[in-house]
Amino acid sequence: MFMFIRAPASRLARTGAGSSQGPRREAGLGEHLGAWVRRLRPAVDPGEPASTPETTRRAIDQVGEEPVAWAVAAAADIVHGSAFPDLVGAGPQGPQVLRSSIESIIITTLLAIETDGHPPAHIPPEADAQLVDLVRRRVPLDLLLTHQRRIHSQLADHFMGGCRSLVPLPELAASLEHVSRVLFEFADAFATITAESYAAENERFMKSTAAARYETVLALLAGEGSVDSASRQLAYPLTNAYHIGLVLHSATLPRHTVDDLEHVARSLLRGIGANAQLLVPVDRTEAWAWGAFRARPPREELQLPDGSDVIVGVASPHRGVDGFRTTHDEALDATRVGAFGVQSMGYAGVVRYDEVRLLSLLIADPDKAARFVRDELGALGGHAGSVLRQTVLTYLDCQGSPQEAAKKLQVAKNTVIYRVKRAEELLGRSVRDSQLELHAALRLAELLPDPRETGH
C-alpha cells in the first residue's frame, strides 16, 4: 500500500478549485467531493506510464501530473504485489501489458471520481487490447472476471486510502461514500462490458483461420490428433522434414499488431533457407514459428530486420513430429533466457538454445538460481563487483590465460591479474576451485538481478 502525502494548506487552496463538472456539494474548503484526487501524490517515482500517451495526456489535462503519477504507481503496485499468472502473457512485456490495462482503468476511475462522472460505454483501449490477447490465449471469461474482481478490490483499497489521508475528518464520510459509489458503478459496468466484449471477440476469433491453426498446433504439441490431417490443415510438412523452431517475444511494450512478429519470423526463416514455414501468433507479445528443411540444415547466422525490438529463441534442428515438438520446447527455453537478459541488461536479439542449454536449466527455478548465485559469489555478487565478475568470467572462458583475457577485455594483462586477485579476496578462495559452479554463477549473475536482493 502506498503512503499518501498531504499537501500544505497553501497547496490545498491552490489546487482545490476542482472541475466545473459534477455536483457542487461543499466539502470544507469549497471543493466538490472528488476534488481531493488532485492532491494525490506517489510515494516513490513511478517511472514511465504503461498506458498510451493519449490516455495520460487527457488525464493530466484534467487533474494534473502528480495524480496521474499516483495512478501509474498504484497500477505498478497492484501488478507487482499480486499474482495474476493467467492474465500475464509470456515474455518480458507480459507484466507491462497487464499493467497498461490496469493503469488505464485506474486513470479512468480517477477522472470519474474527480468529476462525479459515470462509467464509460467502453473499456479503455489498453484494457480492450489486453482482452483481445486473453481471447487469443484462450483464457476463460469466468477466470478473467474473477481476477478483475480481485484487481478492483485492490484498486478500491488505494482510492479509499488516499481519501482517508487527504480529506478532512468532517467531510470524510461524504467523500468516502462518493468514492464507494463511483467504484461500485465502475466495477459493475466494467464486468458487464468485459463480458460483452469478450463474447464478441471470442466469436470473431473462433471463426478465423488463426484460431483453427492455433488449436491444431496445440493438439500437435500435446501429442493429440491425426498428424496427416494436421499437416494438410497447416500446409506444413511434419513427418519427412527437419524442423527449426522459433519463439518470438516483444522486448518492449507493444504498440503494434501480431503481424509485426510474423514479419520478423518470416524474414528469419527465409534467411536460413527454410523450404516451408509455419507461423502461429499467440498474442501481441508472442509468436511461434517453425521452418521445415528437406535435409538437416547447417548452422546459419540469423539477422533480425532493422529496428526489430524482439527476442527470438532459436532451437536446434530436429526431425519428424517428435522433432517438431522438441524444437519448440528448446525455442521456449532459449527465449526464457533471452527474457532474463532483457530485464537485467536491456537488450534483445537472437538467443540460440545450443548456446544457453545449461543456463536454461539453471533458471527454470529463478528463486533457486538467485540463491545459488548469492551463495556461490558472496561479496563478489554485489553491484561493486560487476567489473570483477566480468573479468573472472572472461578469464575462465580463456582457460585461465590473463593474456588472452586482456585481449578480449581490451585492458592490460596486469589489470586482469589484479582484478582476478581482488575477486579471489571477495570469494575467499581461488577462482580455480569449483570452476564449473563459479562459471555458472557468473553467467547467471549476468541475467538475474542483484543476488543480494533476490531469493527468499
**Assigned domain for 221 exists:** no
**Assigned domain for 66 exists:** yes
| Count of structural domains within the chain | 3
Give the pLDDT confidence score for residue 6 in this predicted structure.
30
Q: State the cell numbers at 429.
A: 578462495
Identify the band that residue 304 occupies on the pLDDT scale cut at 50, 70 and 90.
confident
Identify the band that residue 32 occupies on the pLDDT scale cut at 50, 70 and 90.
confident
Give the pLDDT confidence score for residue 15 in this predicted structure.
30
Flag the least confident range among 55-59, 103-107, 445-449: 445-449
Give the pLDDT confidence score for residue 2 in this predicted structure.
35
The pTM score is 0.75
**Assigned domain for 216 exists:** no
Give the pLDDT confidence score for residue 318 in this predicted structure.
97
Query: Tell me: the pLDDT tens digits for 247-280?
Result: 999 877 666 567 788 989 999 999 999 999 999 9
Q: Do residues 316 and 390 share a domain?
A: no
Q: Do residues 162 and 287 share a domain?
A: no
Q: What are phi and psi of 391, to 5 degrees?
A: -65, -45
Question: Which 8-state DSSP code applies to residue 454?
Answer: S
**Assigned domain for 2 exists:** no
Q: Measured in whole angstroms, how far is the alpha carbon of residue 302 from the centre of its chain?
A: 25
Q: State the cell numbers at 237.
A: 510438412
Identify the band that residue 31 occupies on the pLDDT scale cut at 50, 70 and 90.
low
Give the pLDDT confidence score for residue 3 in this predicted structure.
35
Is the pLDDT confidence value at 29 over 50?
no
Q: Do residues 268 and 353 share a domain?
A: yes
Q: Which residues span the domain enclosing 390?
A: 366-453
**Assigned domain for 327 exists:** yes
Question: How far apart are alpha carbons 246 and 243 in whole angstroms?
Answer: 10
CATH number of the domain encompassing residue 441: 1.10.10.2840
Give the pLDDT confidence score for residue 451 in this predicted structure.
42
Query: Tell me: the pLDDT tens digits for 94-128?
Result: 888 899 999 999 999 999 999 877 888 888 999 99
**Assigned domain for 100 exists:** yes
Give the pLDDT confidence score for residue 285 in this predicted structure.
87
Q: Do residues 132 and 274 share a domain?
A: no
Q: Do residues 77 and 199 share a domain?
A: yes
Q: Which of 332, 360, 388 is the last residue of a domain?
A: 360
**Assigned domain for 29 exists:** yes
Query: Tell me: the pLDDT tens digits for 174-221?
Result: 999 999 999 999 999 999 999 999 999 999 999 999 999 999 999 999
Q: Do residues 19 and 107 share a domain?
A: yes
Q: Which of 315, 344, 360 is the last residue of a domain?
A: 360
Is the pLDDT confidence value at 301 over 60?
yes
Give the pLDDT confidence score for residue 449 in this predicted structure.
59
Q: Do residues 194 and 254 share a domain?
A: no
Estimate the share of the chain in helix, then strand, then coil, as percent rounded to the nearest 5: 60, 10, 30
**Assigned domain for 215 exists:** no
Kindly report the number of other CB atoms within 10 A of residue 228's CB atom.
10
Q: Do residues 124 and 243 share a domain?
A: no
Q: Do residues 336 and 259 share a domain?
A: yes
Would you call 165 helix, strand, or coil by DSSP? helix
Identify the band that residue 386 occupies on the pLDDT scale cut at 50, 70 and 90.
confident
The residue among 255, 251, 254 whose CA lies nearest residue 342 is 251
The residue with greater pLDDT, 92 or 316, is 316
Q: Which of 339, 360, 381 is the last residue of a domain?
A: 360
Give the pLDDT confidence score for residue 23 in this predicted structure.
41
Q: What is the mean pLDDT of residues 228-253?
A: 92
User: Kind and range of the H or E element at 342?
Assistant: helix 320-345
Q: Do residues 348 and 376 share a domain?
A: no
Q: What is the mean pLDDT of residues 227-244?
A: 96
Question: How far apart are alpha carbons 225 and 341 in whole angstroms?
Answer: 37
CATH number of the domain encompassing residue 304: 3.30.70
Q: Do residues 27 and 110 share a domain?
A: yes
The residue with greater pLDDT, 65 or 10, is 65
Q: Do residues 347 and 393 share a domain?
A: no
Phi-psi region of 429 (alpha: psi -120 to 50; beta: other; left: phi over 0): beta
Is the pLDDT confidence value at 34 over 80?
yes
